[in-house]
Amino acid sequence: MNIRQLEYFLAVAECKSMTAAAAALGIAQPTLTKAVRALERELGVKLFERMPRGVDLTPFGRTLLRHAEAIRVQFGDAKNEIGALRGGTYGTVTIGAGPAWLRRLLPQAVARALEKNPSIHVRIEGGFDDVLLRALRQGHLDFVVAELPAPEAAHDMKMIPLTSDRLGVCCRKGHELEGVPKLPLSSLLKYPWVMPPQTTRAHQRMKALFVAADLAPPRAVVETESMAFLLQMVRFFDALTFTVSTTLKLPEAADLTMIDVPALEAVRSAGIIRRKNGWLSPAAETIVKELIAICQEEPTN
């Protein structure tokens, strides 16, 4: 087994198609098929089974996938660390950030780091937490700043708590629910909701709170991965959304307000999430230190 075989295996697992994987890798399909079959012979098991459209992992393939992803990440870390040592460079850092972090604390931290060392090269990828954590596990990101996952869901991660903020229901100013005290959950069901995708923790938490109250969760009339679009929909529509109170600090949220729904209020912790055994470049370490310093000055994002 070698790194190239694992790269080929991972490409097929991700594309779910020999044809698509070969195209993504830029190699001939017979070359890819031969490499996968050689890997199967070496392990003595079938890694993929044919489906009506493409291929799917067998139980043996799913086991190898978990280890192959870890090997890919560790090999990438090793190459990056060796490159930094060889070149004497400060390095590149790729950061994943939740919507609120992109607008406030992260830009401040990156600016401070660049003032101290202009040779740092930074790449930023925005998104919701579930997408960012998946990219982190796959080695595409050095670290993430977002809501901290539950410990049982992040046994392979190291987490540094930085901020806390309040979750609640948000609507446009002038909405008929604005200023009404202690709204019951049932009073929210007649309104349309605009939410991030169902896979996000915010959406799942909102639904769970309704279910815990023996109520069917409201159906989101719009789901979006764009925080800017979500806020504009709430601004121009009688819709509700479930978000953190610090969202109201964003310019796009100037016309929005939180409403009083005790059953949907909660506190969440956010901070830095990194792979437990992952390597961070000096550039990444510098930005981490700046984030910690800024959040000590301002403990809410």
Confidence at 38, pLDDT banded by 50, 70, 90 = very high
To which CATH superfamily is domain 80-163+269-297 assigned?
Answer: Periplasmic binding protein-like II (3.40.190.10)
CATH of 3-71, one of 1.10.10.10, 2.60.40.10, 3.40.50.720, 1.20.1260.10: 1.10.10.10
44, pLDDT greater than 90: yes
User: For 211-268, what is each residue's pLDDT tens digit?
Assistant: 999 999 998 999 998 888 999 999 998 999 999 888 888 888 999 999 999 999 888 8
Banded model confidence at residue 76, pLDDT cuts 50, 70, 90:
confident
Is residue 148 within 8 Å of residue 161, measured between CB atoms? yes
What would the pLDDT profile of 266-300 be if each residue is shown by its tens digit?
888 999 999 988 888 888 999 999 999 999 987 66
Same fold flag, 3-71 and 80-163+269-297: no
* Domain map (residue ranges) of the chain: 3-71, 80-163+269-297, 165-268
Cβ atoms < 10 Å from Cβ of 179: 10
Beta-strand relationship, 220-223 and 193-195: parallel
Residue 301 has a pLDDT of 57
Q: How are beta strands 143-147 and 92-97 bridged, if at all?
A: parallel
pTM: 0.74
Domain 165-268 classified CATH 3.40.190.290?
yes
Within 10 angstroms of residue 215's Cβ, the number of other Cβ atoms is: 15
